[in-house]
Amino acid sequence: MVEIGKNSIVIIDTGVCNLTSVYQAIRRLTDEVIASDDPKVITQAEKVVLPGVGAAQSGMQSITNKALIETIQQLTQPVLGICLGMQLLTQTSEESSNNSPVKGLGLIPTKIEHLETQGQPLPHMGWNQLSNMKHPIFDGIANNAFVYFVHSYGAPISDYTIASSDYGNKFSAAIAKDNFIGLQFHPEKSGKTGEAILNNFLNLRIEQ
Amino acid sequence: MLAKRIIPCLDVRDGKVVKGVQFTNHKIMGDIVDLAARYSDEGADELVFYDITASAYGNKVDKSWVRQVAEVINIPFCVAGGIKTLEHAREILAYGADKISINSPALTEPELITRMQDEFGKQCIVVGIDSYHDQESNSYKVKQFTGSDSTTQFTDWYTLDWVEKVQQLGCGEIVLNAINQDGVKNGYDIEQLQKVRSACTVPLIASGGAGSIQHFIDVFNQTNVDGALAASVFHKQEIAISDLKQQLANNQIPTRID
pLDDT tens digits for A67-114?
999 999 999 999 999 999 999 999 999 988 777 899 999 999 999 999
Q: How far is B150 from chain A (nearest CA, A)?
A: 36
Q: Which domain holds residue A100?
A: 9-202
Of B122 and B222, which is predicted with more confidence?
B222
In this structure, is residue B44 part of a structural domain? yes
Average pLDDT, chain B: 88
Residue A195: give its domain's CATH number.
Answer: 3.40.50.880
At A1, the pLDDT band (50, 70, 90 cuts) reads very low
In this structure, is residue A207 part of a structural domain? no
Note the pLDDT of residue B127: 97
CA-to-CA separations, B69 to B48, B64, B103, B141, in angstroms, rounded? 11, 9, 22, 34
Q: Is A131 on the interface with B (CB under 8 A)?
A: no
In this structure, is residue B258 part of a structural domain? no
Q: Which domain holds residue B227?
A: 5-250
Between positions 140 and 179 of B, the ones with CB within 8 A of A are: 172-173
Range in A5-19, B73-87, B238-252 the model is least confident about: A5-19
Of B47 and B29, which is predicted with more confidence?
B47
Q: Do A52 and A17 touch, CB atoms closer than 8 A?
A: yes
Q: Is B45 on the interface with A (CB under 8 A)?
A: yes
Q: Is A152 on the interface with B (CB under 8 A)?
A: yes
Question: Has the ipTM of the complex gone over 0.95?
Answer: no
Summarize the confidence of residues B128-135 as an average pLDDT: 93
Tell me the DSSP string of B111-168. Answer: HHHHHHHHHH-GGGEEEEEEEEEETTTTEEEEEE-TTSTTT-EEEEEEHHHHHHHHHH
Q: Is B198 on the interface with A (CB under 8 A)?
A: no
Summarize the confidence of residues B194-208 as an average pLDDT: 97
In this structure, is residue A83 part of a structural domain? yes
Q: Catalogue the active-site residues of A.
A: 83, 186, 188
In this structure, is residue A17 part of a structural domain? yes
Counting beta carbons within 10 angstroms of the beta carbon of residue A78, is it exposed (0 to 12), middle (13 to 18) or buried (19 or more)?
buried
In this structure, is residue A124 part of a structural domain? yes
pLDDT tens digits for A183-200?
999 999 999 999 999 999
> What distance in Å separates the CA atoms of residue B103 and residue B88, rounded to the nearest whole number?
14
Domain count, chain A: 1
Domain count, chain B: 1
In this structure, is residue B153 part of a structural domain? yes
* A24, A128, A150: residue with CB nearest B123: A150
Give the DSSP H or E segment for B89.
helix B86-94
pLDDT tens digits for B8-26?
998 887 766 666 544 455 5
Note the pLDDT of residue B144: 86
Residue B129 has φ and ψ, to the nearest 5°, of: -125, 120
In this structure, is residue B255 part of a structural domain? no
pLDDT at B190 over 60: yes
Note the pLDDT of residue B81: 86
Residue B214: give its domain's CATH number.
Answer: 3.20.20.70
Residues in chain A within 8 Å Cβ distance of B93: 18
In this structure, is residue A138 part of a structural domain? yes
Residues in chain A within 8 Å Cβ distance of B46: 126
pLDDT tens digits for A18-76?
788 899 999 999 999 999 999 999 999 999 999 986 778 888 888 999 999 999 999 99
In this structure, is residue A136 part of a structural domain? yes
